[in-house]
Structure 1
Amino acid sequence: MPADLHAHAAARPAGQAPERVDLRAGEERTLLLDCRALLGTGELIESAPAATATPAGLRVSTVRSRAGTHVELSARCPAIGEMRGAPWRDYLVTARLRTTRGQVLQAALTLRVHAE
């Protein structure tokens, strides 16, 4: 893995709570998710075809594999007016991954969007 890949969070195996990244309302950010804990020995991410965020309001796009072990995605947070008075809101972001062994895996992280 290249030394310049500094992940914002690490994907965890099924059954463990996803790591959390804090963002501000209206912020647009590219995030890097380390997926090595999901991969077997010698297995790499071949593609990351899609990502979703729940509940609605957070936009996720530009999903791609980096160095075969990380996933890069862009997140666009809702504006303050869309927060409906809440001080923060959590979004579960899930990326679907295809590996060199033909497996389809899911990597997840929680994005907490703060109104201020």
Structure 2
Amino acid sequence: MIVSLFTVGLWPRTIIVVIFFALYQLAENYLLVPRVFRNTVDMPAAAVLLVALTGGTLLGLAGVIMAIPIAATIKVVLSPPPAKEPAARDGTRASTGATPATDLDSGRGKEPNASRGE
């Protein structure tokens, strides 16, 4: 912006650059960042925005930076633990229905063919 001011004058290019950066900053702060953090910390976008605004009001820039991780930590601590998978009788996990691929499935672990004398 300063470069634009000294190279082309105040009107119209410098004003256009200032408006562009202001609109970009607003779009990033109110549209993009809440969606990215919602997916990252598994919280609704409105909650992320509210937490960031509250943190910024209380502690300024440091509050904004610290508020979202603190809120995500509180959410994890207060949420119930995930349900455990039922264990099989031999102490391993029960099968979920999908069979894992093994060397035998791909043919690499097959026994030598006895009819050919290998």
Shorter-normalised TM range: under 0.3
Return the structure number with greater helix share: 2
Q: TM-score by structure 1 length? A: 0.22
For CA contacts below 8 A with separation 6 or more, give which structure has more relative contact order.
1
> Which structure dedicates a bigger proportion of its chain to strand?
1
TM-score between both structures, scaled by the size of structure 2: 0.22
